[in-house]
């Protein structure tokens, strides 16, 4: 591979505007680019790292939603420049990929430079070393038995290939429903498995949620390479759960995005009332071993949760029964999350929960479930599983 000079030229042309906010970083940008041009790659890498540390502090002061965009853009800029510098200074490929993935997760991609660079570097990893990781286990070895189903039969309404009229009629009821085989036509439904994901992106770094569920006090998050995530948390002997949850993983790895299609249903809904504009369709991935739990919670937008492989169990409570679910009102971050463990209800503590209508569903590979806005949903994976959710208005 050449010295990635095409990526360097793109970075040099990158907008000066975000740098107007920090003289320190603007000076360091010029200095690093000069060092790179004079082929002092180790030095340019070192300077990038100083800048990344400086910005990291800013990214971790205050609430994430309040962080100004320019810090995130500049973080991505230095991540990419650090990676190309390190590559030219003979650094190892997985370290370069790690730098870029941090830039993608913590920052904002610059004209898709980071996404393309990460893919190009990952393609450079010798197939033999990827195979070594993948062949440690077969998909059957990942198969944990964690499939207790707390109900005899599903109570959710089930459709197969509903037309627009039927879909609109159903969403008007503001109740969840399942579309059997709704994503069977995706190439992903045929191709993807734990091993396939490993083969495509073993060395890509992703944020992993660690703990039995996000509402637990001991729950934490860690960024790690996919191969480490799979080796650690898909091991049937592992009791701690690790979950790649609610992450734009397909945005990070567009090669995988080519294997899915945004469902047409996302574009069939009625216009919003008053001045309100529809937002973009937000696509998130949910990848984990058997036994991951998303506790009973609600989201503000419509959702189509689509199952690529593995099965998931869902217990849903309509928004109209919100008075019975006991949201965690003491923690502002958990206001949308119920305190009730729906598979093991403490009825002394939560006596009204018995009045809530519970709609039960099993999502098999290829199925999708429509979850109306504010409808409470509890989701547990029964197998190693990959789902893609689409939030829309
Ligand atoms: O699949 C899961 O674990 C949770 C999915 C979910 O909560 C969502 O798509 O909003």
CA 274 remoteness from chain centre: 32
Kindly state whether residues 284 and 375 are assigned to the same domain: yes
Kindly state whether residues 260 and 347 are assigned to the same domain: yes
Kindly state whether residues 83 and 220 are assigned to the same domain: no
Q: Decide whether any atom of ligand 1 lies within 6 Å of the 298 Cβ.
A: no
Q: What is the mean pLDDT of the chain?
A: 93
SS3 string, the chain, reads: CCCCHHHHHHHHCCCCHHHHHCHHHHHHHHHHHHHHHCCCHHHHHHHHHHHHHHHHHHHCCCCHHHCCHHHHHHHHHHHHHHHHHHHHCCCCHHHHHHHHHHHHHHCCCCCCHHHHHHHHHHHHCCHHHHHHHHCCCCHHHHCCCCCCCCCCCCCCEEECCCCHHHHHHHHHCCCCEEECCCCCCCHHHHHCCHHHHHHHHCCCEEEEEECCCCCCCCCEEEEEEHHHHHHHHCCCCCCCCEEEEEECHHHHCHHHHCCCCCCHHHHCCCCCCCCCCCCCCEEEEEEECCCCEEEEECCCCEEEEEEEECCEEEEEECHHHHHHCCECCCCHHHCCEECCCCCCCCCCCCHHHHHCCCEEEEECCCCEEEECCCCEEEEEECCCEEEEEEEEC
Q: Which pLDDT belongs to residue 150?
A: 86
pLDDT band at 359 (very low <50, low <70, confident <90, very high): very high
CATH number at residue 197: 2.60.120.650
The answer to whether 264 and 183 are in contact (CB under 8 A) is no
Q: Decide whether any atom of ligand 1 lies within 6 Å of the 390 Cβ.
A: no
Ligand 1 atom at minimum distance from 297 CA? 7
Q: Which pLDDT belongs to residue 321?
A: 98
Q: What is the pLDDT of residues 99-121, one digit of tens each?
A: 999 999 999 999 999 999 999 99
Structure tokens at 219: 């729950």
Distance CA 168, CA 269 (A): 7
Q: What range does the domain containing 69 cover?
A: 5-124
Distance CA 241, CA 292 (A): 6
Q: Decide whether any atom of ligand 1 lies within 6 Å of the 305 Cβ.
A: yes
Is 325 part of a structural domain of the chain?
Answer: yes
**pLDDT above 80 (res 144):** no
Is 144 part of a structural domain of the chain?
Answer: no
Q: Which pLDDT belongs to residue 332?
A: 80
Q: Decide whether any atom of ligand 1 lies within 6 Å of the 337 Cβ.
A: no
Is 150 part of a structural domain of the chain?
Answer: no
Is 134 part of a structural domain of the chain?
Answer: no
Kindly state whether residues 365 and 310 are assigned to the same domain: yes
Kindly state whether residues 57 and 203 are assigned to the same domain: no
Kindly state whether residues 358 and 224 are assigned to the same domain: yes
Distance CA 48, CA 32 (A): 7
Is 367 part of a structural domain of the chain?
Answer: yes
**pLDDT above 80 (res 297):** yes
Kindly state whether residues 240 and 380 are assigned to the same domain: yes
pTM above 0.75, yes or no: yes
Kindly state whether residues 115 and 161 are assigned to the same domain: no
Q: Percent of the chain at pLDDT above 70?
A: 95
Kindly state whether residues 180 and 54 are assigned to the same domain: no
pLDDT band at 26 (very low <50, low <70, confident <90, very high): very high
Is 214 part of a structural domain of the chain?
Answer: yes
Is 129 part of a structural domain of the chain?
Answer: no
Q: Decide whether any atom of ligand 1 lies within 6 Å of the 385 Cβ.
A: no
Is 65 part of a structural domain of the chain?
Answer: yes
291, 303, 372, best to mutate for ligand 1 pocket (most atoms within 8 Å of CB): 303
Kindly state whether residues 46 and 102 are assigned to the same domain: yes
Kindly state whether residues 105 and 188 are assigned to the same domain: no
Q: Which pLDDT belongs to residue 3?
A: 80
Kindly state whether residues 175 and 302 are assigned to the same domain: yes
Q: Total structural domains in the chain?
A: 2
> Of all protein residues, whose CA lies closest to atom 7 belonging to ligand 1?
294
């Amino acid at each position: 591979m050449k010295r990635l000079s095409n990526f360097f030229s793109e970075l040099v042309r990158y907008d000066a505007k975000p740098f107007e906010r920090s003289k320190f970083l603007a000076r360091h940008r010029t200095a690093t680019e000069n060092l790179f041009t004079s082929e002092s790659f180790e030095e340019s890498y070192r300077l990038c790292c100083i800048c990344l540390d400086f910005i990291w502090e800013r990214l971790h002061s205050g609430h994430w939603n309040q962080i100004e965009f320019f810090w995130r853009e500049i973080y991505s800029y230095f991540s990419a420049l650090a990676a190309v510098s390190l590559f030219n200074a003979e650094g190892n490929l997985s370290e370069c990929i790690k730098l870029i993935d941090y830039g993608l997760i913590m920052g904002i991609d610059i004209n898709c430079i980071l996404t393309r660079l990460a893919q190009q570097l990952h393609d450079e990893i010798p197939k033999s070393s990827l195979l070594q990781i993948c062949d440690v286990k077969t998909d059957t070895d990942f198969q944990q038995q964690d499939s207790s189903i707390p109900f005899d039969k599903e109570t959710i309404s089930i459709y197969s290939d509903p037309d627009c009229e039927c879909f609109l009629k159903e969403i008007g009821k503001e109740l969840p429903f399942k579309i059997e085989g709704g994503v069977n036509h995706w190439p992903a439904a045929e191709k993807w498995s734990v091993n396939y994901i490993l083969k495509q992106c073993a060395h890509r770094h992703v944020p992993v949620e660690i703990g039995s569920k996000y509402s637990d006090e001991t729950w934490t998050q860690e960024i790690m390479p996919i191969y480490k995530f799979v080796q650690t948390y898909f091991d049937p002997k592992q009791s701690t759960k690790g979950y790649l949850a609610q992450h734009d993983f397909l945005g990070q790895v567009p090669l995988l995005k080519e294997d899915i299609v945004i469902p047409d249903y996302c574009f069939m809904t009625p216009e919003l009332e008053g001045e309100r504009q529809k937002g973009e369709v937000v696509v998130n991935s949910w990848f984990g071993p058997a036994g991951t739990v998303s506790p009973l919670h609600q989201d503000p937008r419509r959702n189509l949760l689509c199952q690529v492989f593995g099965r998931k169990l869902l217990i849903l409570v309509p928004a109209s029964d919100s008075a019975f679910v006991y949201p965690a009102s003491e923690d502002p971050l958990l206001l949308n999350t119920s305190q009730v463990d729906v598979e093991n209800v403490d009825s002394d503590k939560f006596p009204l929960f018995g009045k809530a209508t519970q709609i039960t569903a099993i999502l098999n590979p290829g199925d999708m479930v429509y979850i109306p806005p504010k409808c409470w949903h509890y989701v547990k994976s029964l197998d190693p599983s990959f789902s893609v959710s689409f939030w829309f208005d």
